Amino acid sequence: MTPLHTRFTRAFGLNTPIALAPMALASGGTLAAACVQAGALGLVGGGYAEMPWTQREYQRALDLVPLESRSRLGLGFITWKLDEDASALDWALNLPAEQRPRAVMLSFGDPRPYAPRILDSGARLLCQVQRLSQVEQALQAGAQVIIAQGSEAGGHGANALEGRATFTLVPEMADYLGRQAPQTLLLAAGGVADGRGLAAALALGADGVLVGSRLWASSESLASPGAVAAALAARGDDTARSAVFDILRRKNWPAPYDFRALRNALHRQWERRIDDLRADPQSARADYDAGVSAGDFSRAHSTVGEAVGLIGDAPGAQELVARMTLEARAALVRGSALLVG
């Protein structure tokens, strides 16, 4: 694969400006290691900061990533869960120096209480935001990388009232950082699932992309095969963002965040009756739990974003990263040809 370099690749020793989104319970150590081996940034999904899962999967990544490539390996956490218990973060930051994550990504909450110990460990701090108004807090924390997450993204993100589209959020944020913190890197997230999306993000002013759904559907992902199969049969029209699956999964997410997944039969049953579901969730939760147990994805959730319509297979992550990079290079060459044609 011919490298594609930006400020982001040079800062992290990458061959392509792609980072694996640290998707909770999907971005395990094997997937993160495969992304590292492909020349991308591999972020293990520490997610809800559950110690046994984080320890197991991060150690698996360490076992698979040679020492000379560990500048490409990190962890990601849900910030409001760290507010409840930060022991998994502290465990990672107190590992021997050669094993510590070189990047820590925080999302969905105030990163400032955790920033000093992350930076003191030698890791770079990446902060994901959904609105321009959140950037100043991330800069105060000392974030070296800002991730602009559009509402197209799968899984958790800003709700319909607070969310922004990637296509407009990224260039506005690039302009803001150019004025206020020009040394800070910018990644685009939400709706990026092929090389065209990567090329577009670079054209909009980003230094790279954070990729979730496309790498969620890979052979190394810990996502359920049934969930991936449901996603491969879906189109972008088939996802929705709501609180339904958070309620069914007993996840008490704070405002203004909710959850994008495939809009299956159980979701449709409740999506216009959110208040009723919150008031009396027992029967719906039993239906959901039964669907999970049976592998029935008309009831269980499949966590993908609007880019699901661009996902037609689930090969290895190294192949996906190489494919996206080659497609992006081709798209950028086509764009350059317009200037001389």
What is the rounded CA–CA span in Å between residue 319 and residue 324? 9
pTM: 0.96
Determine the CATH number of domain 7-223+316-340: 3.20.20.70
Q: Where are the domains of the chain?
A: 7-223+316-340, 225-294
Residue type for position 168: T
> What is the model's pLDDT at position 50?
87
Give the residue among 333, 43, 304 at the shortest CA–CA distance from 202.
333
Residue type for position 152: E
Average pLDDT of the residues in 263-286: 97
For 221-235, what is each residue's pLDDT tens digit? 999 999 999 999 999
Is a pLDDT exceeding 90 seen at residue 187?
yes
> What is the model's pLDDT at position 289?
97
Residue with tokens 């407009």: 168
> What is the model's pLDDT at position 116?
98
> Which one-letter DSSP state was computed for residue 253?
P
